[in-house]
Amino acid sequence: MQPLADKIRPTSLDDVFGQEHILGKGKILNKIINSGFIPNMIFYGPPGVGKTTVANIAAKKSNKKFYKLNATNASVKDIKDIVDDIGTLLTHNGVLLYLDEIQNFNKKQQQSLLEFIENGQITLIASTTENPYHYIYKAILSRASVFEFKPLNENEIKRAVLRAIEILNNEEDNKTFFNDEAVSYISRICGGDVRRALNVVELCAGSVESDEVGNKYVDLDRVMECSQIKILNYDKDGDSHYDILSAFQKSIRGSDVDASLHYLARLIKAGDLISICRRLLVIASEDIGLAYPNAIVITKSCVDSAMQLGFPEARIPLAQAVITLATSPKSNSAICAIDKALMDLEEKNIGDIPVYLKDSHYSGAEKLGRGIEYKYPHDYPNNYVKQQYLPDNIKDALYYFPGKNKMEEKIQLYMRGIKNEIK
């Protein structure tokens, strides 16, 4: 039996909901498809947002022989079979190949397409849920236009759901009625994925009993029963993983405690304990750092507790760490300092370590001049004596610049004090 999502798939751009930024009136992809002159294109975005639908519409407009492959189960032989049709009566207008999930093709498989894309014998529309700049062979990328498809908002999903219900009822003598609460809930919990929403509609319609005249009525309780747990777009090896982690860190860095907890909740929902713990430890030093040095101690304790407890209890120390970090003063002086020092290693001839700093704890070291002129700081007032520690070539290099916060102002004051710079 054909799934509802495929049965009611739009055949014109007017029936496609969402993607107004590329498919709206006067927008670039709308113009391209309606012109009938279809170039090589890559559609990038999460599942269920219209990539396949738009590719099918583009194929019909192109008037070319349409082939469709899914890279999860296709092979080079499948591509060769399509190539063998080139030049026949079937393909006198050319070939348009829709390759779904192209990220599952390895480099060799993607290269097998290149010759035919270059000479124009095959027009390629590829779709991917992963960032094409990470997963697609650069030679193909350079010959294709990339269009990003975005998750649909709640209103766009709702329009698609109502259209599906209307089509469903037009095809059957008996009607299935969804109340407003049911439709709104479906639109809200599907995560911007039309296909997921339509699958819930289909499941609800198929599982509810008919009344005495044959009609069906779907309420909120039935939708909640059929949809079970809301599924979030999250792939531990894909873009959504890094996007959520990025938003998580940037929210903590921006001292937005509520947003930080929201993205923590997403990561908890995905069960991704390791990534949460690693990122929190990084944030404690990268974004809070010397403004609140104890942040790393607290975070480490919370992370250790979370790892020992596991979910669901781990959510509690994780939330404690997130709230602590988000509400702490911020400083990036530590990461800036070490990155500046590392850059000098890459870009400069740093020279040799001063001879008096070299190891002198062995027989014969003195004959080599090791340690002879070294001044032992503890023999001097304030446990400090001025001497050169950096190599001659970079003796004036400065890496650490204190941040503007109470803790680092105290550090700066202390350093000036031991150097007798404060009168």
Q: Please choose, from the candidates 263, 261, 255, the residue with its C-alpha nearest in 3D space to the C-alpha of residue 328.
A: 255
Q: Which amino acid is at 197?
A: A
Q: Please choose, from the candidates 289, 267, 269, the residue with its C-alpha nearest in 3D space to the C-alpha of residue 278.
A: 267
First to last CA, the chain: 88
- The answer to whether the beta carbons of residues 337 and 311 sit under 8 Å apart is no
pTM above 0.85, yes or no: no
* 204 sits in which H/E element: helix 194-207
Q: Given this model, what pLDDT does residue 233 score?
A: 52
Q: Which amino acid is at 236?
A: K
Question: What would the mean pLDDT of 373-380 be, rounded to a whole number?
Answer: 90
Measured between alpha carbons, how far is residue 347 from residues 95, 190, 326, 341 in Å?
A: 51, 50, 35, 10
Q: Given this model, what pLDDT does residue 229 score?
A: 54
Q: Helix 294-309 crosses helix 273-283 at what angle (to 10 degrees)? A: 170
| Per-residue pLDDT at 65 exceeds 90 | no
* Domains and their CATH numbers in the chain: 19-148 (3.40.50.300), 154-227 (1.10.8.60), 239-326 (1.20.272.10), 347-418 (1.10.3710.10)
Question: What would the mean pLDDT of 46-63 be, rounded to a whole number?
Answer: 90
- The answer to whether the beta carbons of residues 249 and 267 sit under 8 Å apart is no
Sign of the alpha-carbon dihedral angle for 292, 298, 302, 304: positive
Q: Given this model, what pLDDT does residue 423 score?
A: 55
41 strand-pairing partners: 125, 145
Tens digit of each residue's pLDDT (9 = 90 or more) over 259-298: 999 999 999 988 888 999 999 999 999 999 999 999 999 9
